[in-house]
Amino acid sequence: MKMVEQAVITEDEAQLYDRQIRLWGLDAQRRLRASRVLLIGLRGLGAEVAKNIVLAGIKSITLLDHTQVSKEDAASNFLVSRDDFGKNRAEMAQSRTQQLNPMVEVMADNENATDKPDSFFTDFDVVCALCCKPEQQVRINQICAENDIKFFCGDVFGYYGYMFSDLGSHEYAEEVHKKKDTSTSEDGSPAKKAKTEEQDTVMVKNSVNYVRLKNALNVDWKENAKSLRRTPSAYFVMKVINQFLETEGRRPEVETAAEDATKLRSLKPELLEQIGVKTDIIDDEFASKCFAELSPVCAVVGGVLGQEIIKAVSQKDVPHNNFFFYNGVDGSGLVDKIGS
């Protein structure tokens, strides 16, 4: 397992991150201050993730995005402005990201992640691929897995959002509450039973193993029918949208909402039957709720994703394994391990 080195915390940094150090400890903050993060995709979700991890105090972040700021960014992307329409997203987001925390090194890269060689990704401790096509996410995940790099991906489509994590073989520490032994008093005589049980807090080391994204996306549901009951319906919404990305080569767009909704509804039965799932597991209403990035959904998914990156790097607390889904239609957020 690739270990992130611990950085030296200066007096200024100790003062800036005082509250965090009190929350998760000096060693965890040192690991954060040594971590180098690659963030692919600077739409609304990317802005939320960038904000959360930069404020936490990582060493550096590289913003990678070859696309241009669009009108849709005005609804959810606070790292760019209306004056930036038509300009590169990563370059326009760099300045405001830097203002969040001057102690973090912020770099912008306007190239396409698809054109990057495998060696490019190995310069980072964490890679987070947002708003990418499935095949691109799978490729980057495989590179990360082979080089012990922590991998995350995710996206937001209208009311729906998700994140996925692959930390390989990950070790972490968590606080566990244990009852104190109060069976005897200080003089050795039997102690009176306390009205309330006292507890000690101890740090316990644990480990968890993850599966590759490819396996999580290619589940044979005919052989895993029992798991369907607990699998969030948003997983299958994601599958249909991923199919749309592959067949159309783009995201569902507001300008062509009626046409794209029809296409999504036509893709649903074919895809679900192909993977061995009944078509009524999601209704056709989802197709009208998959457009643009809604700011509240970006905030929820970006908050969870940012926190998971912090937990993974700091090696503090139990990480999600491996999906988190948010359904803004009913306000539900669910964690589920899918694939093997």
Percent of the chain with pLDDT over 90: 76
Q: Mark whether 244 and 155 lie in a shared domain.
A: no
Average pLDDT over residues 203-231: 91
Q: b/e string for 174-191 if b means 16 or more Cβ within 10 A?
A: eeeeeeeeeeeeeeeeee
- For residues 31 and 4, the answer to whether their CB atoms sit within 8 Å is yes
Q: Please confirm whether the linkage preceding 101 is cis (ω < 30° from 0).
A: no
- The total of other beta-carbon atoms located within 10 Å of residue 169's CB is 10
Q: Mark whether 26 and 83 lie in a shared domain.
A: yes
Q: Mark whether 22 and 128 lie in a shared domain.
A: yes
CATH code assigned at 318? 3.40.50.720
Q: Mark whether 134 and 48 lie in a shared domain.
A: yes
Q: Mark whether 41 and 70 lie in a shared domain.
A: yes
Average pLDDT over residues 270-277: 92
Structure tokens at 87: 């300009």
Q: Mark whether 236 and 112 lie in a shared domain.
A: no
Per-residue pLDDT for 193 more than 80? Answer: no
Q: Mark whether 254 and 231 lie in a shared domain.
A: yes
- For residues 202 and 175, the answer to whether their CB atoms sit within 8 Å is yes
Per-residue pLDDT for 50 more than 60? Answer: yes
Q: b/e string for 314-323 if b means 16 or more Cβ within 10 A?
A: bbbbebbbbb
Give the residue numbers spanning the domain of 255.
213-288
Q: Mark whether 302 and 218 lie in a shared domain.
A: no
| pTM for this prediction | 0.89
Q: Mark whether 147 and 175 lie in a shared domain.
A: no
Q: What is the pLDDT of residue 175?
A: 80
Q: Mark whether 235 and 123 lie in a shared domain.
A: no
Q: Report yes or no on 6 lying in a domain.
A: no
**R_g (Cα) of the chain, nearest Å:** 22
If one counts the domains in the chain, the total is: 3
Average pLDDT over residues 150-156: 98
DSSP 68: B
Name the 3-class secondary structure at 209: strand
User: What helix, strand, coil percent values describe the chain, rounded to 5?
Assistant: 45, 20, 35
pLDDT in tens, 121-150: 999 999 999 999 999 999 999 999 999 999
Per-residue pLDDT for 195 more than 60? Answer: no
pLDDT in tens, 69-128: 998 898 899 999 999 999 999 999 999 999 999 999 999 999 999 999 999 999 999 999
Average pLDDT over residues 29-34: 91
Q: Mark whether 305 and 160 lie in a shared domain.
A: yes
pLDDT in tens, 244-260: 999 999 999 999 999 99
Q: What is the pLDDT of residue 5?
A: 58
CA 69/CA 78 separation, integer angstroms? 12
Identify the top-confidence range among 8-12, 66-70, 181-185: 66-70
- The total of other beta-carbon atoms located within 10 Å of residue 261's CB is 19
327 Cβ contact list (under 8 Å, min separation 6): 159, 160, 232, 233, 234, 333
CA 126/CA 61 separation, integer angstroms? 10
Q: Report yes or no on 4 lying in a domain.
A: no
Q: Mark whether 103 and 16 lie in a shared domain.
A: yes
Q: Report yes or no on 265 lying in a domain.
A: yes
